[in-house]
Structure 1
Amino acid sequence: MRLIKLALFSLSILLICESAYAQSNTIAGAQITINNFIVKENLYKNNQLAIIAADSVDKPIENLSGTFKFSINGFEQELKFNNGAAVVPQPISKSTFIYVRHENESGNQGKLYYVIKKYDMLNPIKISWLVLVLVPALIILLAMMFRKFIIIAGILLIVMFYFNTSNGLNISTFFDTVFDGLKNLF
């Protein structure tokens, strides 16, 4: 019961604060907002990521220019978009989780990526909130169904928790991703 109250309280605080970082650019009298984005490797292959403004079907919007506020792993950044793309200034030194969030008048968009770094190439893979919830739930369900699996399930959960935290996925990012996914359902 306390967990449900805490979750509802957290969700209500998140919804109340949603408009705090609302942002858009106005060009020639038309209001331009970013409602979707894609994270890819920068074209210059300099260990930096590029954020590309996209429409609802992930097609890049090339005529977008301006400065927009993003939160990358909890750090606020103003990214300058030119022709629909902006470069994140911090280079990636090893494989890590990246949580990118943008908020505007129409809502917020938060996406979790696992960036695999091999040699001088970056490969961002989008992680769905369902995967974050279903994999541990499935392990716990299997442990409850098969009593002999409890020790193995516990070890798997500990290894998964260690992998996530050592690569930059902390508890707050986990809950932010899950709450964003739940919000987008409704």
Structure 2
Amino acid sequence: MNNFRSIFIGLFFILSSNQVYSQSELSLGNEVVLNNFIVKENLLKNNKIAIIAVDSLDKPLENLSGTFQFSINGFGQELKFNNGVAVAAQAIDKSTFLYLRHENESGTHGKLYYVIRKGDSINPININWWVLVIVPLILIILAALFRKFIIFAIILLVFLFYYNSTNGLKLPTFFETVFDGLKNLI
């Protein structure tokens, strides 16, 4: 009976001392690794974006603090996170594409957003990499199936390319987003 109690107490302490972390919150000593994030409008409504550290279920990681290296549209920036939130230094002047990328020991984590600016508010919309592939692919398939649709499909593709490039989604960023998405599939 005494051995059973000792085993039970030992198991209780072992199980209660382990903390369960989600996929994107790994604790390495005192270091917390950032593997997932979302973009929202800054609470101050100053046309800046707030990058929020989240776990794999998009639940905010309020215990994350420190400086992390990000790339925003190809420009390197050190973002200082306080309680899981960092604010980018640049203000958003007009609607644009934003490609945020963070690299750490566990891999590269990138996300593409289209930030809509209306008046004094901004609304970031996450764009999955497969949307960038599916839309042109559907236009090409429709053009191949219906010969009369070829000129209309070419005009739509040129318009899509022009719109994306004038709003910050250049061809290298397009391919980088698609390749990052494909790497995450594997």
TM-score of the aligned structures, taking structure 2 as reference length? 0.84
Q: Which amino acid letter does the alignment assign opposite residue 100 of structure 1?
A: L
Q: Which amino acid aligns with 1:104?
A: N
Per the alignment, in what secondary structure is the counterpart of residue 59 of structure 2? Answer: coil
Aligned to 1:81: 81
Give runs of ≥4 in structure 1 deviating > 6 Å: none
The number of aligned residues is 160
Computed over aligned residues only, the root mean square deviation of the Cα atoms, in angstroms, reads 1.1
Distance in 1, Cα, partners of 2:80 & 2:129 = 28
1:108 is aligned to 108
Offset at residue 31 of structure 1 (A): 2.0
Give CA-to-partner distance per residue, 1:147-174, whole Å, 9 cap, x none: 0000100100011011000100000100
Q: Please give the alpha-carbon distance, in whole angstroms, between the structure 2 residues aligned to 1:174 and 1:62.
A: 32
The residue aligned with 1:158 is 158
> Is 1:123 matched with 2:123?
yes
CA distance in structure 2 between the partners assigned to 1:52 and 1:127 by the alignment: 17
> Which secondary structure state, in structure 2, belongs to the residue aligned with residue 33 of structure 1?
strand
Larger Rg over CA atoms:
2
Counting only pairs closer than 5 Å after superposition, residues 34-53 of structure 1 correspond to structure 2 as 34-53=34-53
- Deviation string for 1:95-154 (max 9, x for gaps)? 000000000000010000000000011100001111000000000000000000001001
CA distance in 1, matches of 2:47, 2:76: 20
Cα distance in 1, alignment partners of residues 69 and 32 from structure 2? 13
- Equivalence for 1:10: none
Identity %: 68
Structure 2 residues without counterparts, runs of 5 or longer: 1-26
Please name the residue that 1:149 is paired with. 149
What residue identity is the alignment partner of 2:52?
I
Q: Which has the higher contact order (CA 8 A, sep 6+)?
A: 1
1:7 paired residue number: none
Q: What's the offset of the Cα at 1:71?
A: 0.3
Q: Aligned partner of 1:137: which letter?
A: L
Report the Cα distance in structure 1 between the residues aligned to 2:175 and 2:59, rounded to whole angstroms: 28
Superposed displacement of residue 30, structure 1: 2.1
Q: Deviation per CA, 1:4-63, whole angstroms, max 9, x where unpaired?
A: xxxxxxxxxxxxxxxxxxxxxx99x42211010001100000000000000001111001
* Distance across 2 between alignment mates of 1:115 and 1:78: 21
TM-score by length of 1: 0.84
Residue in 1 that maps onto 2:177 = 177
In structure 1, C-alpha distance between the alignment counterparts of 2:146 and 2:62, rounded to whole Å: 53
The residue type equivalent to 2:123 in the other structure is: N
| Residue 180 of structure 1: how far off its partner (Å) | 0.7
* In 2, Cα distance between equivalents of 1:34 and 1:85: 11
Cα distance between partner residues in 1 of 2:108 and 2:92: 25
User: What amino acid does structure 2 have at the position aligned with 1:132?
Assistant: L
Please name the residue that 1:71 is paired with: 71
Amino acid at match of 1:98: L
